[in-house]
Amino acid sequence: MKTWTEHLGHSRLRSFTDGEGHFWLEQNASKPSKWGKFAREGHDVAWEFAGPGGAYTGRMLVDGEILTPSEATKKYLRAAEHL
């Protein structure tokens, strides 16, 4: 995500359209959600959409790995609770 140069509207969130036309949007770190907090802690988090303005696909990118939110929660958030 560090190489993404597109920015979305007034939010200035980074975005990227991959070779398959899927649109990835960076997690807004100022949001109070668990993923906003995770992003504030320095992790790269983005959400995949079918295209700009398209529907959410059910996949996310966390620190370079494509996962479902359930998989990401188990791997990153629940693991952190046990530290």
pLDDT at 19 over 90: no
More reliable by pLDDT, 27 or 51: 27
For residue 81, the surrounding DSSP H or E stretch is: helix 78-81
Q: What is the pLDDT of residue 74?
A: 95
Q: What is the pLDDT of residue 80?
A: 59
Res. 57 pLDDT band, cuts 50 70 90: very high
DSSP per position, 35-53: HHHHHHTT--EEEEESSTT
pLDDT at 77 over 80: yes
Amino acid identity of residue 13, one-letter, is L
More reliable by pLDDT, 5 or 67: 67
* The two three-digit tokens of residue 26, written as one number: 């960076």
Q: What is the pTM of this model?
A: 0.85
